[in-house]
Structure 1
Amino acid sequence: MLSNKTILITGGTGSLGKALTQHILKNHPQIKKLVIYSRDEQKQFQMAQEFPVEKYPQVRFLIGDVRDKERLIRAFKDVDYVIHAAAMKHVHLAEYNPDECIKTNIGGAENVVHAALETGVERVVALSTDKACAPINLYGATKLTSDKLFIAANNIKGWNPIKFSVVRYGNVMGSNGSVIPFFINKKEEGVLPITDPEMTRFNISLQGGVDMVMYALENAWGGELFVPKIPSYKILDVAEAVAPNAEKKVVGIRPGEKVHEEMITPSDSFYTYDIGKYYAILPSNPIWNIEDFISTYNGKKVEPGFKYNSGENTEWETVESLRELIVQHVDSSFEI
């Protein structure tokens, strides 16, 4: 499917963007071009050292901000697929800088939609977050709005055959700013700050996130919001896995945080289908036949009132499994 195609990743210098780049170049070397679009010139410079043009002539780097619609239109010219990973994502920073969060996460999403519609892009996959589900913080609210913009874009495209879809998942293990690298850095101090002893989170590896994006890119009909079936962990188990001898000091929840994250609410259940490895929340007004979708993916509608949150999950990481995952996905030299 990716043979001789051009792919652009907004926010391409982030953790997932780099993982996607590695995956695409390894598994789809026949692509025509892979464009890394981001506003951080230093990260682009560093990433260009990891993917030198002599070895990877397909890779291009473009400085640009998703807030700049004209730059996006120029960047999207002759692009087939767009993966939209650019976002302002730190919850507490968004609470203190609301205008900046809105400009990037909502205005940027609008710009990506319109630039894609104007330039002949075939498919767009936008990254969401569990914090967009029943949001209580500004970051989550902006990402929910972004999700709605991409899903609704399928209804305004007219004759254009483009397909927009969304993937939503929980904390990416080892990504920039996530809790495990933070705890690893803190353990030498002998004290790990715990926001709330009851706190839980969903857990997905970078590769799991990559696999989900690629699945949506290849299989979406347009308008779906895909949710993975992934385990949860308890924050105290993460602390125990990283530094069993460190003091666990309760410091309280930061602005905008939840104790448990959600990915599907009871209100979503009326549009949610189990399609095997993932759930798919379908649009309320799809432009295709739902029965055809169900037949194609052997979809089974979830029970009315079904909910999917990290505190009531049926699958859990243990202290031992977390240590194995840290070595596998975060730090191969990790030792207690």
Structure 2
Amino acid sequence: MSILEGSSILITGGTGSFGKAFIAYALEHLNPRRLVVFSRDELKQYEVRQLFHDDPRLRWFIGDIRDERRLARALHGIEYVVHAAALKQVDTAEYNPYEFVKTNILGSQNVIEASIDAGVKKVVALSTDKASSPINLYGATKLTADKLFITGNHYAAAYNTRFAVVRYGNVMGSRGSVIPFFAKLGASGEPLPITDLRCTRFFITLPDAVRMVVDTFELMQGGELIVPRIPSMKVTDLAHAVVPDAELIDVGLRPGEKLHEEMISPEEGRRAVTVAGGKYFIIQPDIASWGYKAPAGATPVPDGFAYRSDSNDTWYTQEEIVEIIKGGI
């Protein structure tokens, strides 16, 4: 039985791809007493309300995480928070850097402050592989947000609120996924543009991302940055899984894009352990005034460990990718 069952939960950015998948899982498996969807776009909220047939367990708050007072109102009586709201487009961030700072950094601090003030028990914030050794503005804002949530446990040391972060790679089936883009081009017989034919990526399915967040509420003491042990894939294998006979064109890496992705840097690896039978890595906090202790059964990773998509020991085959796509991801 999950600690989330029968509880009061709020999700920021709740009308996005992850949010909709989390709502569906929560309504089916967790039976929340109240699930508050906090997001900015009234049209998306209307569409998601229709998707879930105005389930009476759902509550709908129009609001922006940049507005701490609105957050405070929405968090009244909330026990658990999933923080999924963020600006995420790498190229858009390069052109609009301060907008990303205001949402991803200042908005995250608002979530931290408002959660402590409201007496929330646990907060899990969603991060990205781009926050590890960031080379673009988006990744830098998410790394800063990660640091804020981890150190938020210092602010909350005298309170009951605890914060943890989950970091995973690209999500198959999400709104920004390349899969429908490839499928659309393939249907018209056009070649598929690949930023670099050598590219490798981490991919996780939406259901696995949701289950990871639910697991994190169970695992966390506060201060953890949790990373899933998931397969890598070659981008060329993904392209041919979507359109088997497609011509692939190497168009070059975009500004701020990595050839291979990283979820645990060598520096973070010094504080990493595996838990849950190797299912997850935990990057432990280096300073923990709130009394963090390494979880029972945790196994330290080898010296010099880093977790990169090109040196991963587990890979999706093209056939496995096809099956995942056929299954509706």
Q: Classify the TM-score, shorter chain.
A: over 0.9
Match of 1:268 in 2: 268
TM-score normalised by L of structure 1:
0.94
Instruction: State the secondary structure of the residue aligned to 1:267.
Output: helix
Checking the alignment, whether the CA contact within 8 Å between 2:157 and 2:289 is kept in structure 1 is: no
Counterparts of 1:327 and 1:95, CA distance in 2:
35
Match of 1:334 in 2: none
Q: Give the drift of 1:293.
A: 2.8
Match of 2:112 in 1: 113
Q: Which amino acid aligns with 1:202?
A: F
Matches within 5 A, 1:24-173: 24-29=26-31, 31-53=32-54, 56-173=55-172
Counterparts of 1:271 and 1:122, CA distance in 2:
25
Q: Give the drift of 1:288.
A: 5.7
Q: For 1:182-202, what per-residue CA distance to the aligned partner results, in whole angstroms no more than 9, with x for missing partners?
A: 211221232111100000100
Q: For 1:73-113, what per-residue CA distance to the aligned partner results, in whole angstroms no more than 9, with x for missing partners?
A: 11111111110000001111111111111111001101100
Checking the alignment, whether the CA contact within 8 Å between 1:39 and 1:65 is kept in structure 2 is: yes
Q: Which amino acid aligns with 1:92?
A: D
Give identity over the alignment, percent: 51
Q: Which amino acid aligns with 2:21?
A: A
Q: For 1:266-322, what per-residue CA distance to the aligned partner results, in whole angstroms no more than 9, with x for missing partners?
A: 1112210011210000000124666x534x2x1011122101000111111111111
Checking the alignment, whether the CA contact within 8 Å between 1:205 and 1:329 is kept in structure 2 is: no
Q: Which amino acid aligns with 1:263?
A: M
Q: What's the RMSD between the two structures over aligned residues?
A: 1.2
TM-score normalised by L of structure 2:
0.96
Q: Which amino acid aligns with 1:260?
A: H
Match of 2:12 in 1: 10
Instruction: State the secondary structure of the residue aligned to 2:270.
Output: helix
Gapped runs of 5+ residues in structure 2? none
Q: Give the drift of 1:247.
A: 1.7
Counterparts of 2:53 and 2:58, CA distance in 1:
8
Q: For 1:38-59, what per-residue CA distance to the aligned partner results, in whole angstroms no more than 9, with x for missing partners?
A: 0011110000001123xx2110
Instruction: State the secondary structure of the residue aligned to 1:293.
Output: coil
Match of 1:236 in 2: 236
Counterparts of 2:304 and 2:291, CA distance in 1:
24
Paired residues, number: 324
Counterparts of 1:158 and 1:287, CA distance in 2:
7
Counterparts of 1:250 and 1:304, CA distance in 2:
36
Stretch moving more, 246-255 or 169-178: 246-255
Runs of 4+ residues over 3 Å off in structure 1: 287-290
Are 2:238 and 1:253 aligned? no
Instruction: State the secondary structure of the residue aligned to 2:328.
Output: helix
Counterparts of 2:6 and 2:197, CA distance in 1:
50
Checking the alignment, whether the CA contact within 8 Å between 1:266 and 1:304 is kept in structure 2 is: no
Checking the alignment, whether the CA contact within 8 Å between 1:173 and 1:329 is kept in structure 2 is: no
Counterparts of 1:288 and 1:104, CA distance in 2:
27
Counterparts of 1:6 and 1:52, CA distance in 2:
20
Q: Give the drift of 1:3.
A: 3.6
Q: Which amino acid aligns with 1:323?
A: V
Q: Give the drift of 1:117.
A: 1.1
Counterparts of 2:107 and 2:12, CA distance in 1:
10
Counterparts of 1:305 and 1:20, CA distance in 2:
35
Gapped runs of 5+ residues in structure 1? 331-336
Checking the alignment, whether the CA contact within 8 Å between 1:8 and 1:81 is kept in structure 2 is: yes
Match of 2:203 in 1: 203
Q: Give the drift of 1:181.
A: 1.8
Q: Which amino acid aligns with 1:282?
A: Q
Instruction: State the secondary structure of the residue aligned to 2:223.
Output: coil
Instruction: State the secondary structure of the residue aligned to 2:124.
Output: strand
Q: Which amino acid aligns with 1:112?
A: V
Checking the alignment, whether the CA contact within 8 Å between 2:284 and 2:294 is kept in structure 1 is: no
Q: Give the drift of 1:4.
A: 3.4
